[in-house]
Amino acid sequence: MTASTLISRAKSLADLQSTDFITYQDKLNSLNESYRDVYSAITEANDDYFLQEEILSVSPVPNGNSFEYQVPLPDDFFQVRYIDFSTQGVWQPVNKFPLSARDINPGQPYYRFKDRNLWILGNITGDIRLGYYPKREILSLPDDPLTFLSTLPAYDGTRITPSSYTNNTLIYIEAPGTNYIIKAQNLSTGVTSTLYTSATAISNVVYYKGYIYFIDNTGNIKRGTTDLLGTLTPANIIATANVASFTVYKDNVYFATGTETRICGLDGTGSTQIAAEVRTSYYSPYYVHNGEIFNAGVASGITGVSRLSSDGVYLYTLKTTGDLVKYSLDYMDQWTLASGVKFIGPVTGDRIPVNVENVAFLGLSTAHDSDVSYPDNAIFEVISYQAAVDFRRKQNADTTALTQRLAALWSTFKDTIVRDEYQPERIRNYYMTSGGAYPFY
């Protein structure tokens, strides 16, 4: 179940569906505090749902003791479950040594933890097998979308191109009649400012680090400084009169003409060809060519792409079907964020500007929607009810009914948390097998 679904359920339980009283940070805090509690309960119950295993290679520490090892723990290590060592092709358990035995060279391996390392004493000729619980995932969820131009009549939506977003502000092109106007609407102040008016067509408006860039009707790239309030005075930075599109990314401008793709500095200097073909939506090393995403010249197989944006962590693609699809950089994971999308601008911070069906102009949150997975549905109820209690408490509202229900859910969850009730563990006894008796110590 996704994090956003859990929070929606919590807001419904707390009767807060249509209020902004609960902030985005409130939601994140409650979500992760609740998940921390259930994660701890699961690991403390000896249920190995989150168990991970890794084979570690060992080498002596450089202190002259050939029977002492410090093995770096996995980056996500949280809690040990078991440690084995390999000898003659058989795994044997490694026991913990007391600190008082740190200067002894035992005949078989023993372990302790030292800083972020597994500290091993004793001769080892093979590998170490570490079973462990990983660190609890820090859950994330997308913030509510920001809605711009909410008073615009639906029939006027085709005149708007939402081009860039920054700091609660949408920068867009409005084309009423014969003029093309660059405007900025700030939701925090409620102010809509006219920044630039042109009697001829302009396109590809991008805000980046205090400047607005755009293409004029002759194909030149212009830019001008802006505070997003006063009038823009742009000047040419690329005056080749044939630029079709450009992207500003990591302090470079990538632009395509009808025959090639080039790169230059933010002020237009140092223009250099990077490809003798048209590449659009360039977020190096990713770009779009003939509707397909490429990574440094390697085709992804993802086709039907009209626009691409990236925050360096994910790719955001506008498909020709109108779907806004988010991909991991290796393309292995994907999520559809919206449908009916007509246009997307560049990602800025954690928002991407979109035009949905020419009637909704949004700053969509790009924060990842975590997927919480566990076979017992009680975990989802516990998280949602705990968040609902937190939300009601912030309102100084009565939480009695929710708290009572939460206590009952916790009781049920703890009663059913162990998935393996088939057989008890046998201590100092034998399980009979077809090959004879196998001891469990």
* Per-residue pLDDT tens digits for 333-380: 999 999 999 999 999 988 999 999 888 899 999 999 999 988 888 899
Statement to judge: residues 226 and 266 lie in one domain: yes
Same domain assignment for residues 219 and 316: yes
**Residue whose C-alpha is closest to residue 256's, from 221, 208, 209, 298:** 221
In a domain, 439, yes or no: no
224 domain-assigned: yes
| pLDDT tens string 49-59 | 899 999 988 77
Whole-number pLDDT of residue 48 = 86
> Does residue 86 fall inside a structural domain?
yes
- Domain extent, residue 87, equals 58-126
Structure tokens at 14: 């707390």
Q: Has residue 153 been placed in a domain?
A: yes
Judgement on whether residues 160 and 78 belong to the same structural domain of the protein: no
Q: Are residues 192 and 268 in the same domain?
A: yes
- Do both 220 and 342 map to the same domain? yes
The domain total for the chain is 3
pLDDT band at 176 (very low <50, low <70, confident <90, very high): confident
Task: Tell me: do 85 and 193 sit in the same domain.
Answer: no
111 and 245: one domain?
no
In a domain, 318, yes or no: yes
Q: Is residue 53 part of a domain?
A: no
Same domain assignment for residues 259 and 355: yes
Query: Does 433 have pLDDT greater than 70?
Result: no
Q: Identify whether 436 is part of a domain.
A: no
Whether 343 and 210 share a structural domain: yes
Looking at residue 440, its pLDDT comes to 45
Same domain, 327 and 277: yes
Q: What is the pLDDT of residue 21?
A: 83
Q: What is the pLDDT of residue 441?
A: 43
Would you say residue 380 lies in a domain? yes
Structure confidence at residue 64 (pLDDT):
58
pLDDT at 257 over 80: yes
The whole-number average pLDDT for the span 140-160 is 87
Q: What is the CATH number of the domain that holds 290?
A: 2.120.10.30
Question: 151 with 215, same domain?
Answer: yes
Q: Kindly report which listed range (50-59, 131-140, 310-319, 386-395) carries the lowest average pLDDT score.
A: 50-59
On whether both 171 and 312 belong to a single domain, the answer is yes
Q: Is the pLDDT of residue 77 over 80?
A: yes
429 pLDDT above the threshold of 60:
no
Which residues, in sequence order, are CB contacts of 331 under 8 Å at separation 6+? Answer: 293, 300, 301, 302
3-state secondary structure the chain: CEHHHHHHHHHHHCCCCCCCCCCHHHHHHHHHHHHHHHHHHHHHCCCHHHCEEEEECCCECCCCCCCEEEEECCCCEEEEEEEEEEECCEEEECEECCHHHCCCCCCCCEEEEECCEEEEECCCCCCEEEEEEECCCCCCCCCCCEEECCCCCHHHHHHEEEEEEECCEEEEEECCCCCEEEEEEECCCCEEEEEEEECCCCEEEEEECCEEEEECCCCCEEEEECCCCCCCCCEEEECCCCCCEEEEECCEEEEECCCCEEEEECCCCCCEEEECCCCEEEECCEEEECCEEEECCEECCCCCEEEEEECCCEEEEEECCCCEEEEECCCCCEEEEECCEEEECCCECCEEEEEECCCEEEEEECCCCCECCCCCCHHHHHHHHHHHHHHHHHCCCCCHHHHHHHHHHHHHHHHHCCCCCCCCCCCCEEEEECCEEEEEC
